Structures are given as C-alpha cells and as structure tokens.
Amino acid sequence: LGLAPFACGDDDDPKPVNTAPKIEEQTFSIVENAENGTQVGMIRATDAEEEALTFSVTSGNTSNAFAINRSTGVLTAAGSLDFETVPTYTLAISVSDGELSATANITVNLEDVNETPTIDPDQTFSVPEDAANATTVGTVQAADPEKDQLTFSITEGNTGDVFAINTSTGALTTAATLDFEMVPTYTLTISVSDGELSATDNITINVEDVNETETAEMLKEIEGLISTLADKQNGHLQTTGIANAQMKMEALKVEDPAAAATYKAAIDAIVVITVPSEEIIRQLQADIDAISGKITALETAGTAPDGTIPTLKTSLEARKTAQATISNGASGLTTELRTVTVSKEC
C-alpha cells in the first residue's frame, strides 16, 4: 500500500493563550497640601505577553484627589489634600492589556503638616461704659486645623490697657475705666498662636453710652473772669487752666459782681449761666472756642430771681441742672453755691 504525503500548514500551529496582567498592592505617602502634579508613586504591574498596559482609577478617588497616567501608571496629586478631612485614601487601580484586566487596592496616606490657626473675621463686641473691671466683653473665636492649644494676646489698639484677654480661652474682659465720651470704639489687634505658627486679625469693641448720675464734687473745675454785661449784650469769660479744649461751662459762683466777676465752672457740659447786669439776674447760654479757649455768653434768656441755674437740652447731649441760693449782702448782689446735685438725663 502506498502512503499519501502529509503536509503541515501554518493554520495548524497552536495559538498562544493570553493571560491577564498582574498588579501589586502598594502603599504610598504624600504630605497634605501638596501642589497639584506632585508625584505620589508609580503603580507596579506586569503582563506575561508584554502587551502595552492601560491604567485607571476605578473607585476611592474622593473629590478626584488623584490622577493616574494611563500609559505609565504614575499617580499624582490632582486636588486639595487635607489630613484633617481625609487622612487615608484607598484607590482601586485597574490595569488592562486591551483584552484582560486586573485590579488592586492602592493605599495613599497623607502626612500631617502644621497649619496656621485662624481667627474668625469681623468679630464685634459691645460693653457699657460703666462696666466694672473684669466684666466679660466677649470671647475671641479662633481655630486650629490640628486642634492644638492656642495662645491669645492683644498686640495693638489697647489704649490705656483698658482690656485684658485670657491667654488660654480668648475671653476679653475690662481692665480699666471706660468712657464713651472719650473713646467710643476700640479696634484691637488679636494674635493667636499654636506655639509654632500664628495669625492676627482686628476685632471691634463698641463702648455703649450710659446715663450717668454725678455730683458737683465729681466735676473738675476751672476759673476765669467774665465781663459785666449790659442788657442783651454778649460777653465773654476768659479762662485759665483749661485741660480740655472741648469743655463747656456748667455751674458758677459769683464772687464780686461789683467788678468783673469770678466764676467757677465744671468741665464738659452745656449750660445756661447767670450773670449780674443792672442788678438783674440774667441767664445766658455759654460755649467755648475750641482754639482760643474763650467762653462766650451767647444770648439772654430772661430773669431768674430764685437763683435757679437751668441747663439746655440739646440733641444727643445730656442735660445737667444745678440749684443756687441768691441773697443781697452788704457788699452787693452775691450768688452762693450750696449743696448741688447734678443729674444727667437724655
């Protein structure tokens, strides 16, 4: 029997079997607040057939914090990284040879970095002007990202050391006398430190005006001479020892009406003064020139034989009243200032 020849063709060769690529589970670290594009690490993966591999992040990439190079497997930062918010990411990384794929979990740990504390902006407090020392004004609100213990201090604006701050809590208290008429508002620069880094910001403290009750003995006094006035004629009181160019007259005492009279006047009030003119008690409003210091009688207001020294009530300004006893002594008309209660009303 003859045997027919047998030939093997190319189609009869066994086809190679494609196997899935392999990818390693890895762990990387990167500092929080790293700039976008900072390399985290390179994903290690292999393919038995040495096919080109394609990489992708399939889950765990909260807020797209990371990006991966599809060809090289290089992992980079791509978003805001904050240790205090998300300290660790677990990324599912897929690698494919175009037909088969494999997945592994990659861990990325954020490294904590000390960050500057913050002070809440635009903080405003109020305190009445008659507040006693150690009265609580408010607490400065501040925070530290790492929750470190903070230290507070006042660095500017605390004129006269009128405020104190608790270095541990940020609580502000009064430490000296407040006066709305002198300083109605304070702007304090507050510093807060975590021991390494610090921040500053301005806070505002408004002093609230308070109706005050005073006595004559509580008022500072100045002295001066007032010219004798004819009926309805303006006169002036030239003063000495003026401590405040914005002061005004309040109460007075006529020492010798026969000549130029000597007056005593309290600081910081708008008043009607009483002066002798042709043996008639005249009442005149008095004011002071802020530059020259000259107090001028502005206008007559009628007679006051009972010796009352009334005051004028003006917009946004307190009113003060005083009582005086008038008698005709041997030396002529005199005004004796007796016990005086001075009240302030709005």
Q: Which pTM value belongs to this model?
A: 0.49
310 and 194 in a single domain? The answer is no
Domain boundary, last residue among 96, 111, 126: 111
144 and 198 in a single domain? The answer is yes
Domain boundary, last residue among 111, 142, 162: 111
Q: Which residues contact 6 (CB under 8 A, 6 or more apart)?
A: none
Identify the domain containing residue 142 by its residue range.
118-208
Residue 128 falls within a domain, yes or no? yes
77 and 186 in a single domain? The answer is no
CA–CA dist 288, 294 (Å, integer): 5
178 and 244 in a single domain? The answer is no
Residue 1 falls within a domain, yes or no? no
Which CATH number do you get for residue 90? 2.60.40.60
Tens of pLDDT along the chain (346 residues) come to: 555 555 555 556 667 789 999 999 999 999 999 999 999 999 999 999 999 999 999 999 999 999 999 999 999 999 999 999 999 999 999 999 999 999 999 999 999 999 999 999 999 999 999 999 999 999 999 999 989 999 999 999 999 999 999 999 999 999 999 999 889 999 999 999 999 999 999 999 999 998 654 333 323 333 333 333 333 333 333 333 222 222 233 333 333 334 333 333 333 333 333 333 333 333 334 444 444 444 444 433 333 333 333 332 222 222 233 322 222 233 333 333 322 222 233 2
Residue 34 falls within a domain, yes or no? yes
Find the farthest-apart pair of alpha carbons in the chain and give their distance in angstroms, rounded: 178
| pLDDT of 290 | 40
Residue 187 falls within a domain, yes or no? yes
- CB of 136 closer than 8 Å to CB of 216: no
54 and 80 in a single domain? The answer is yes
| pLDDT of 16 | 78
Residue 131 falls within a domain, yes or no? yes
CA–CA dist 194, 111 (Å, integer): 19
| pLDDT of 153 | 98
252 and 338 in a single domain? The answer is yes
299 and 274 in a single domain? The answer is yes
Residue 8 falls within a domain, yes or no? no
With helix as H, strand as E and coil as C, how does 314-328 read? CCCCCECCECCEEEE
145 and 128 in a single domain? The answer is yes
Residue 3 falls within a domain, yes or no? no
160 and 239 in a single domain? The answer is no
Question: How many domains is the chain built from?
Answer: 3
105 and 149 in a single domain? The answer is no
| pLDDT of 8 | 53
Domain boundary, last residue among 74, 94, 111: 111
| pLDDT of 1 | 52
263 three-class SS? strand
| pLDDT of 4 | 57
218 three-class SS? helix
218 and 337 in a single domain? The answer is yes
DSSP secondary structure string, 270-297?
A: -EEEEEEETTEEEEEEEEE-TTT-EEEE
| pLDDT of 9 | 54
DSSP secondary structure string, 32-46?
A: TTPPTT-EEEE--EE
